[in-house]
Chains A and B, each alone.
Chain A
Amino acid sequence: MVAIHLDTVLAEFVPNRRLTSPAPTLSALLDDLEERFPRLRFRIRDETGSVRRFIRVFVNGAEVVGPKGLGTTLDPKDEVDFLHSVQGG
């Protein structure tokens, strides 16, 4: 199972910030999370399907960027982090 870690700004949408998923790609992982936790819909991805500007996604510590990044394949031993940019005040 892929290990998932959501940071503080996403905590209000899930019961637990540490989750797992059997999804084989990043896109499928987001589908899975949104299916299980509907309040997470449109919070990581916007209504166009793009990852929101100030949400950053890392797979095993490497940042995934751009539309093609959602097609990143995942291995059951992978770790996915959803963090937010240092922004605002």
Chain B
Amino acid sequence: MASKTVRVYLGTRKGGYVAESDAKRRKWSVRGPFQPGKDVFHVYPDPRHPGTVYSAANSGFVGPMFYRSTDHGRKWTELAPPMMTLSKARPSPFGADGPPHYPIVNLWHIEAGPVSEPSTVFLGVDPASLYRSDDSGASWAPVPGLNDHATRPKWNPGAGGMCLHTILIDPTRPSRMYVGISAAGMFRSDDSGEHWRPANRGVAVSFMPEKHPEVGQCVHKVALDPAHPETSYRQDHDGIFVSHDGMENWKRVGRPLESDFGFVVGVAQTRPGQAYFVPLEEKTRTGFTKGPEVFRWAERSRSWAPTIRNRLTPGDVGTHREALALDRLDPPGIYLGTTTGQLLVSPDGDRNWLQVPYLFPSIHSVAVASPENSGS
């Protein structure tokens, strides 16, 4: 009989970890670190291939590294990041096209391609560039329609660098893709990445002389509604927004909160019409409730509700943009990693919360493979 293991993959300041539980999601064990000491920005279980996990690890000393596991993160194989083939014939950095236009600073975000293209993987990096692999990460090709976009001279780095941190594929229309770049904003493609156009109408910027530019928004994270992918939820530097038309137009909905600055947003496959955010004070990048707090936005009632009723350890808690994930169970599990190394779990769709009894290094990313997509 197949087990029902839920695995939560963490990228941290000092390596990657896996937290494991059964479908009740109340008792957790921890494995790791893998890639110890490296700045692991994203660990990503491929939902199309149970057991396959990718890891984007960075190092100020030796540069970015990319790994793949096919056994739920126990054993890892080093693969080559874009432009860094491990083949014997090192490509000349000064070939016909000269040195690379955008040498990679950090790897940021991994995303599986459409179900119909089972070997395709996308990778977002700093400086903002999108790469595509059609052989499960063994080799990479740039996506020039985005990387050399006419608006690129207007893109600027945020505090984390000029990172491409969000890649979304419409599950009902796989030729439609979205990417998010700080600080350039969202971009949409309707032809599988050939051509791109900005998707930021309605998102004002407080840090530029022009308040409604076509690009330049400091988007932090975006999620598609699982049942209605035309609807998307956006955490921007300048507030929380919702779009109902494939990101053609955005409307700010976060103003009722004490602050609608923040980094994360997440949705559950089994709870369409809801999105979770962790608002923070802009000045400190920590919560305004003296403890971790996750707010739920409900589309139908257009209302906000706090979800952490059983107060956890008080403190000044921050989150990185990739640090909120939800599983595919019903009720959904919700997983939040903090910059101070706590992993908070709601095992029952935000009714109750617990803290995994392990202090991790500062958590960059959280991703989950639940029984429906882990195959274990």
Q: List chain A positions with a Cβ less than 8 A from chain B.
A: 9-10, 13, 31, 34-35, 38-39, 41-44, 46-49, 52-55, 84-85, 87-88
* Candidates B63, B93, B104; contact of A43 at CB < 8 Å: B63
Measured between alpha carbons, how far is A2 from B122 in the docked complex, in Å?
42
Q: Which residues of the partner chain A approach B59 to less than 8 Å between Cβ atoms?
A: 9
A10 in complex: contacting residue of B62, B84, B90, CB < 8 Å:
B62
Take A38-B86, A38-B88, A47-B83 as given contacts and tell me if A54 and B104 are in contact as well, using a CB distance cutoff of 8 Å.
Answer: no
Q: Name the residue of chain B whose CB is nearest to the CB of A84.
A: B61
* B99 on interface, CB distance cutoff 8 Å: yes
The number of residues on chain B lying at the interface, defined by a beta carbon within 8 Å of a beta carbon of chain A, is: 19
The answer to whether A87 touches B90, judged by C-beta atoms less than 8 angstroms apart, is: no
Q: Is A43 a contact partner of B62 (Cβ separation < 8 A)?
A: yes
Q: Tell me how many residue pairs across A and B have CB atoms closer than 8 Å.
A: 51
**B160 proximity list for chain A (CB < 8 A):** none
Given contacts A34-B90, A41-B84, contact A48 B62 (CB under 8 A): no
Of the candidates B63, B81, B86, which one forms a contact with A52 in the assembled complex, judged by CB atoms under 8 Å apart?
A: B63
- CA gap between A62 and B55 in the complex, in Å: 37
A48–B63 touching, CB < 8 Å? no
Q: Mark B63-104, 1 if CB is under 8 A from A, else 0.
A: 100000000000000100101101110100110000110011
What residues of B have a CB within 8 angstroms of the CB of A88 in the complex?
60
What chain A residues lie within 8 Å of B94 (beta carbons)?
49
Known contacts A38-B86, A47-B84: A54-B78 contact under CB 8 Å: no
> Known contacts A38-B88, A39-B86; can you find 5 more A-B pairs with CB under 8 A?
A47-B83, A47-B93, A47-B100, A48-B93, A88-B60
| Residues of the B chain whose Cβ atoms lie less than 8 Å from the Cβ of A47 | 83-84, 93, 99-100, 103-104
B93 & A49 in contact (Cβ 8 Å cutoff): yes
Which B residues touch A48, using CB under 8 A? 93, 99-100, 103
Q: Is the beta-carbon distance between B63 and A46 smaller than 8 angstroms? A: yes
- CB contacts (< 8 Å) of B88 on chain A: these are 35, 38
Closest chain A residue, CB of each to CB of B82: A47
- A31 surroundings in chain B (CB, below 8 A): 90
In the A-B complex, the 5 residue pairs with the closest CB atoms: A49-B93, A43-B62, A42-B84, A47-B83, A48-B99
Query: A55 to B86, Cβ gap below 8 A?
Result: no
Name the B residues within 8 Å of A49 (CB-CB): 93-94, 99
State in angstroms the CA–CA spacing of A44 and B90 once bound together.
Answer: 14
What's the nearest-Cβ distance from chain A to residue B40, in Å?
A: 14
Residues of A within 8 A of B81 (CB): 42
Cβ–Cβ < 8 Å partners of B61 in chain A: 9, 52, 54-55, 84-85, 87
A54 touches B60 (CB 8 A): yes
- Give the residue name and chain of the A residue nearest to B80 (CB): A42
CB-CB under 8 A from B100, the residues of chain A are 47-48
Query: Taking the nearest CB of chain A, how far is it from the CB of B3, in angstroms?
Result: 33
A-B contact pairs, 6 of them (CB 8 A): A13-B62, A42-B63, A42-B84, A48-B93, A48-B99, A87-B61
Q: Which residues between 49 and 63 of chain B lie within 8 Å of chain A, taking CB atoms? A: 59-63
Closest to A7 in B: B61
B62 lies within 8 A of A41 (CB): no
- Best-surrounded residue of A31, A38, A43, A46 (most CB of chain B within 10 A): A46
Q: Please, how many angstroms separate the alpha-carbon atoms of A53 and B61 in the complex?
A: 7
Query: Nearest-CB distance from B284 to chain A (Å)?
Result: 20
Q: Report the bound CA distance from A39 to B62 in whole Å.
A: 11
A42 to B104 alpha-carbon distance, docked (Å): 11
Are A41 and B90 touching (Cβ within 8 A)?
Answer: yes
B60 touches A87 (CB 8 A): yes
Q: Measured between C-beta atoms, what is the minimum distance from B81 to chain A in Å? A: 8
Nearest-Cβ distance from residue B95 to partner chain A, whole angstroms: 11
B62-A9 in contact (CB<8A):
yes
